[in-house]
A = this chain, B = another copy of it.
Amino acid sequence: MPDHVAIIDLLGALAYGELSAFDRLAEDARMAPSLSGRAALAEMAAVEIGHYRRLAERLTMLGVTPEEAMAPFAPALDGFHSTTVPSDWLEGLVKAYVGDGLAADFYREVADFVDPATRELMLDVLADTGSAAFVVREVRAAIASQPALAGRLALWGRRLVGEAISQTQHVLAEHDSLAELLVEGTGDLSGIAALIRRITDKHAERMATLGLHG
């Protein structure tokens, strides 16, 4: 069973992910072409904060302030967001969908390696909130009316997954507790390779759902 430090690191990373996802969605909401689109993204942002609240409460129960637990992960997540600033509304939607999906798939894998109480909390806050359906509808409609968009958005999706992998590697290199959790959980290097393959397969499925070739 992973130690206390690994659990706190895991929940801290996840909590900061929710807080920074809130920020990103709130900012991207301003690019919405309509008030209803703006409200839709703002509502997604609000859901992330609800998740943040639950993670922060658990961290407090575990004897750390959310702030302490999150701080070590701020640079990597801020780095991800600052290197993937959407240039328009559609890029923002693709990022919300693809980014949240990648993070959720990764944490769902890791949830298999932790105690049941932590696992339950993780799966709860990773549950899809219905926002995915909104994004899929908007992006598919945009591509249908302007097929040339597909190429640019597919490239954007590849950029997002590349940056996400790069920042995840940084985090693992800097946090032995998390690296150990992953190695022990998957069993060995071929286990890690299989995990990465499952995540990239799901990413490709998501891109296809958007009408894009990842």
Which A positions have Cβ atoms within 8 angstroms of B? 16, 19, 22-23, 26-27, 29-30, 34-36, 38-39, 42-43, 45-46, 49-50, 52-53, 56, 65-67, 70-71, 74
Kindly report how many copies of this chain are found in the complex they form together: 2
13 A-B contacts (beta carbon < 8 Å) = A19-B35, A19-B39, A22-B42, A23-B26, A23-B42, A26-B45, A27-B27, A36-B65, A39-B49, A39-B52, A43-B49, A45-B45, A46-B50
Do A39 and B66 touch (CB < 8 A)?
A: yes
Cβ distance A35 to chain B, nearest Cβ, rounded Å: 5
Instruction: Name the residue of chain B whose CB is nearest to the CB of A70.
Output: B35
Contact residue among B19, B30, B67 (Cβ-Cβ distance under 8 Å from A23): B30
Contact residue among B22, B29, B39 (Cβ-Cβ distance under 8 Å from A56): B39
